[in-house]
Structure 1
Amino acid sequence: MFNPSRDQVRRFFCDAWQKDRQGLPLVGAETIAVDLIRLHPEYHALLADVERALSQEWTPEEGQMNPFLHLSLHLAVEEQISIDHPRGIREAFHALARRLDDPHAAKHQLLECLGEAVWHAQQAGNQLDPEAYLEAVKRAGRG
């Protein structure tokens, strides 16, 4: 299993963004990452400044979401939808996207559900419960 360090994750996003800005070819997950970055113009300046990206910290007390956590969760959700894992997540996502009439907003709802599921797993010292996560997404889709 791939378990990148904090700096590796940050460099991945910064490097992908820099390659795109320079018109260089993107490979693998870089393509998806750049598509996600384009949806988040509020991160463009940060991603263009590697030194700042590597050194800055975001804490809940500051009231700001860590951009790298946000983009990483987006990548996870994209993969979950593409491979339908946990089984049913793709259908639940599409139901939510129809209800919200906005696929990006629907993905943000999935991010919230995933973040909460990860937090609960960490608090309990357990693995993420895919069924609880999927049920939270389905509830969001039903409104």
Structure 2
Amino acid sequence: MLFNPTRDEARRFFIDAWQKHTQQAPLTDLERITVGVLLRHPEYQRFLTPDYLDRDWPPEIGETNPFLHISMHLAIEEQLSIDQPAGVRALYQQLCAHYGDEHAALHLMLDGLGEMIWHAQRHGVPPDPNLYLDILRTRLGQATSRD
């Protein structure tokens, strides 16, 4: 069975994980990973209340949706833990070495993941992991599979 939460369920999970963290309550493994992401993003911690469950962050206003950003971080954490798509972990390590900053490397990956998703939506095709890997290779100045 796939885990496919609604927008509200995902947001509530982030809020609950943060609340448990601030209360020093025991965390599940996924909550611990989530809190790790949230600790690297203090600018989003103020949104971790039920007051923001229904708020939208349309791209036109130029603000980053904190819940989407956290979700994408978690997606990349999962990719790295299982090296899927194959080779993504090595590219992450190369990005870290190249840019000298793990968090900057993660944000480059978020941008690449977002670009792949945008491409799939725009063209009505499934997400292409090879496109994603090529975007990361481009960030490193490497040849891509499309060259």
TM-score by length of 2: 0.92
Tell me if 1:113 matches 2:112. yes
Aligned equivalent of 2:77: 78
Question: Which string of whole-angstrom CA distances, capped at 9 and with x for unpartnered residues, describes residues 96-127 of structure 1?
Answer: 11111000000000000000100111111111
Amino acid at match of 1:37: L
Aligned equivalent of 2:46: 45
Q: Say if 1:96 and 1:142, in contact at 8 Å, map to a contact too.
A: no
Aligned equivalent of 1:29: 30
Question: Which string of whole-angstrom CA distances, capped at 9 and with x for unpartnered residues, describes residues 78-104 of structure 1?
Answer: 111111100000000111111110000
Q: Match of 2:64, SS?
A: coil
Q: Say if 1:93 and 1:141, in contact at 8 Å, map to a contact too.
A: no
- Determine what percentage of the aligned residue pairs are the same residue: 48
Q: Say if 1:109 and 1:137, in contact at 8 Å, map to a contact too.
A: yes
Question: Which string of whole-angstrom CA distances, capped at 9 and with x for unpartnered residues, describes residues 47-71 of structure 1?
Answer: 1x21x22021101111011101000
Aligned equivalent of 1:142: 141
Aligned equivalent of 1:62: 61
Tell me if 1:7 matches 2:8. yes
Q: Say if 1:32 and 1:75, in contact at 8 Å, map to a contact too.
A: yes
Q: Say if 1:96 and 1:141, in contact at 8 Å, map to a contact too.
A: yes
Structure 1 gap segments, 5+ residues each: none
Whole-Å Cα distance in 1 between the matches of residues 122 and 134 of structure 2? Answer: 19
Shift of 1:142: 2.9
Whole-Å Cα distance in 2 between the matches of residues 57 and 3 of structure 1? Answer: 20
TM-score by length of 1: 0.95
- Give the helix-richer structure, 1 or 2: 1
Cα-Cα RMSD: 1.0
Whole-Å Cα distance in 1 between the matches of residues 29 and 46 of structure 2? Answer: 23
Q: Which runs of 4+ in 1 moved over 3 A?
A: none
Whole-Å Cα distance in 1 between the matches of residues 24 and 38 of structure 2? Answer: 15
Shift of 1:16: 0.2
Larger RCO of the pair (alpha carbons < 8 Å, separation 6+): 1
